[in-house]
Amino acid sequence: MGVSGFIKGFNLFHRTKPRIRLHPYGYIQRRDFSDTKILSSNDSLLPVLIVGAGPVGLVLSVLLTKFGIKCTVLEKNKGFSKHPQAHFINNRTMEVFRKLDGLAEEIQRSQPSVDLWSKFIYCTSLTGSILGSVDHMHPQDFEKIVSPISVAHFSQYKLTRLLVKLLENLGFGIHTLEGPDSLDHEPLRGGEILMGYECVSIDTTDECVTATVSFSKEGKLLTRKIQSKILIGADGAGSMVRKLVGIDLKGEKDLQKLVSVHFWSKDLGRYLLNERPGMLFFIFNTEVIGVLVAHDLTQGEFVLQIPFYPPQQNLEDFSPEICKKLILKLVGQELSDIDVIDIKPWVMHAEVADRFVCGNNQIILCGDAAHRFPPAGGFGMNTGIQDAHNLAWKIASLLNGVAPTSILATYETERKPIAVFNTALSVQNFRAAMAVPATLGLDPTVANSVHQVINKGFGSILPSGIQKAILDGIFSIGRSQLSEFILNENNPLGSSRLAKLRHIFEEGKSLQLQFPAEDLGFRYLEGALVPDSDDGVPAPGLPTGRRRDYVPCADPGSRLPHMNVKVLSNFPSEETISILDLVSENKVEFLLIIAPMEESYNLAQAAFKVAEEYKVSTKVCILWPADTVTRVQPGSKAKLAPWKNYIDVIEVKRSLDSSSWWSTCQMTEQGAILVRPDEHIAWRSKSRVLGDLYSKMKIVFSTVLGFKSMNS
């Protein structure tokens, strides 16, 4: 299936008819997303129950807590995972982390130096010949031109540890079933992380969601019911919440099966630090093929990914001792300190949930529960965290009585197309990764076809031992293509293959790490926003699979373009901040950006009046052109009286010939931009707003908050 067909295969804006559907563990009542009622206020109910204490669930709990919304997190495991898993944090996610009490700065301090992880290296062994290498970091990635922060390489379990610490600082407590602080029958008030609790059924009414959770205590399997206004399924790729509510996944299943081997070796780390530092090592030799992820060369922490072909192979074929031998074959020399920590089989899928929101808009899927990507490009965890960022302010607006329940439906409207696009991009990037072994004479599609023939064709009637011997023999013949006899410049076949390989690397057709255009440039086309009047909803573009630079854009639904500014109340201080920093991190607040013009001040006055009526906090930013202000008080106080929630800032240009911020946004200074609490643009006017300013701003706020259908 091509990328275009992959995207078209999803129903991007799935709508369901009202119905009640029975499930083995209870029932879910579903209503159409057009429901615009305000959620009933019941202070005895837990506001939000989050199922899943991975990075996505934890980030969402941090964001909600900072917005003043109480929540409780359930985790079926009795402890947090120590498997490294995801490790690449992209630009947009790092921008989100900048608002989480110093999290981004802590990651930057703790991560390895970038020169130790910027490269992907392709080799015959870690001590053998290098077939090629690709440096994925460009100089502009660190110049902070398009973003106030750079990407990071930081293992998921370390991120989880920092998020838990952050939540503890916000007043959360971690409760285990064995400890004295167990809450197996205590009422939940928010601020709890409950370890060892699994959601086994879900029921909804107009008032609440009731989750039945099971837990084991003193050898007995017990259950309790937890009622909440909203339930979030952030419980990973195998989401029980998704299964309980009967939401299906669409896409490609079983792209590849692998075994993940987590191990430590300081000797290997020291060798790679000195000889060939990198993030990923693609190793091809006659004995074994694998991908080594260097999570931390200094500490010597690695994860090895090895192709897995069950049922001919099983986990007994990957015991710790066998894995040590495989590691040594991939290294190419002896190591005395290999310590295998964990061995896990896993299956690579490329699927997106039919729906992200159901049950009267009270049950919501987030992260891997809503979409399962190949790891190529690192979109999985990053997309999930950006799901949480999109969702948090909407939940807070609903529970604070600012918006109707329909605002939660815009979460699916906005995030599902992004998930579909990122799934297609991840698949395309995965296919690019497969081009390297195919060029070397090891076409993975052939290997998978051979495996299918053995499983379902004539081979299926053979005894399992013979099936395994046939599979091993065929793969051994395939790996012989990697022998030094073939793979050298003096062999015409080997020389041709090596030349093709160099071309793949030079043209950027191999596995890519960074996608700045997609990372920072994704845009919501419909949802909690007001499209430009002259802007028909464009069809989403197809991913190219190549790195493309981000081009700043101020279209509605886009992330607010970054520019450094100085706060005039601190003038003439040299301290600069990003314009993104003007969006509040501690409350749900919209930001209206204007230039210091009479008509724009009048627009701001109208926005303040409407925002007060809707009981939604709004701040006005007056953006002064560079080098035009020499006084601390530029006069906005008198222009905006009696309103006081405003801030004067001045542009900080990188050079004299740099474009103004308004030019970067392809707007005139007579225009205005309204920014949502998630730093995406809710509405903009490219030039002067004409007519009744109060009526115009009332339409804008009612549309964004979801009252438009109620008022029409």
Quickly list DSSP for 542-573. PP-SS--------STTBBPPP-EEEEGGGTT-
pLDDT at 43: 66
User: What is the SS3 assignment for 151?
Assistant: coil
Residue 567: pLDDT above 50?
A: yes
Instruction: Tell me the pLDDT tens digit for each residue of 569-611.
Output: 766 677 889 999 999 999 999 999 999 999 999 999 999 999 9
Provide the pLDDT confidence category of residue 181 given band limits of 50, 70 and 90: low
pLDDT at 463: 80
* Cα–Cα distance, 541 to 571 (Å, whole number): 43
Q: Which of 309-313, 378-382, 692-696 is the least confident region?
A: 309-313
Q: Which of 17-21, 284-288, 666-670 is the least confident region?
A: 17-21
pLDDT at 120: 96
Provide the pLDDT confidence category of residue 538 given band limits of 50, 70 and 90: low
Provide the pLDDT confidence category of residue 458 given band limits of 50, 70 and 90: low
Residue 455: pLDDT above 80?
A: no
The larger pLDDT score, comparing residue 133 to residue 448, is at 133
pLDDT at 596: 94
Q: What is the mean pLDDT of the chain?
A: 88
* Cα–Cα distance, 232 to 204 (Å, whole number): 13
% of residues, the chain, pLDDT over 90: 69
Interacting residues of 405 by C-beta distance below 8 A, sequence separation 6+: 35, 36, 37, 38, 39, 360, 361, 362, 398
pLDDT at 659: 86
* Cα–Cα distance, 617 to 402 (Å, whole number): 10
**Chain length of the chain:** 712
- Give just the sign of the alpha carbon dihedral 254, 256, 259, 260: negative
The larger pLDDT score, comparing residue 40 to residue 80, is at 80
pLDDT at 35: 43
Provide the pLDDT confidence category of residue 447 given band limits of 50, 70 and 90: confident
pLDDT at 631: 55
Short-list 328, 401, 368, CA closest to 47: 401
Most confident of 49-58, 82-91, 657-666: 49-58
pLDDT at 546: 74
User: What is the SS3 assignment for 393?
Assistant: helix
Neighbours of 365 (CB within 10 A): 27
pLDDT at 183: 65
Provide the pLDDT confidence category of residue 2 given band limits of 50, 70 and 90: low
Provide the pLDDT confidence category of residue 300 given band limits of 50, 70 and 90: very high
pTM: 0.91
Instruction: Tell me the pLDDT tens digit for each residue of 393-438.
Output: 999 999 999 999 999 999 999 999 999 999 999 999 998 899 999 9
Provide the pLDDT confidence category of residue 475 given band limits of 50, 70 and 90: confident
Residue 27: pLDDT above 50?
A: no
User: What is the SS3 assignment for 258?
Assistant: strand
Residue 252: pLDDT above 80?
A: yes
Residue 105: what are its φ and ψ, rounded to 5°?
A: -65, -40
- Give just the sign of the alpha carbon dihedral 507, 511, 516, 522: positive
User: What is the SS3 assignment for 77?
Assistant: coil
Provide the pLDDT confidence category of residue 311 given band limits of 50, 70 and 90: confident
Provide the pLDDT confidence category of residue 642 given band limits of 50, 70 and 90: very high
Q: Which two tokens stand for residue 637?
A: 């106080």
Provide the pLDDT confidence category of residue 269 given band limits of 50, 70 and 90: very high
% of residues, the chain, pLDDT over 70: 89
Helix (H) or strand (E) holding 323: helix 320-331
Average pLDDT over residues 166-191: 83
pLDDT at 39: 54
Instruction: Tell me the pLDDT tens digit for each residue of 120-132.
Output: 999 999 999 999 9
pLDDT at 535: 55
Residue 711: pLDDT above 70?
A: no
Provide the pLDDT confidence category of residue 142 given band limits of 50, 70 and 90: confident
pLDDT at 128: 94
pLDDT at 184: 63
pLDDT at 275: 95
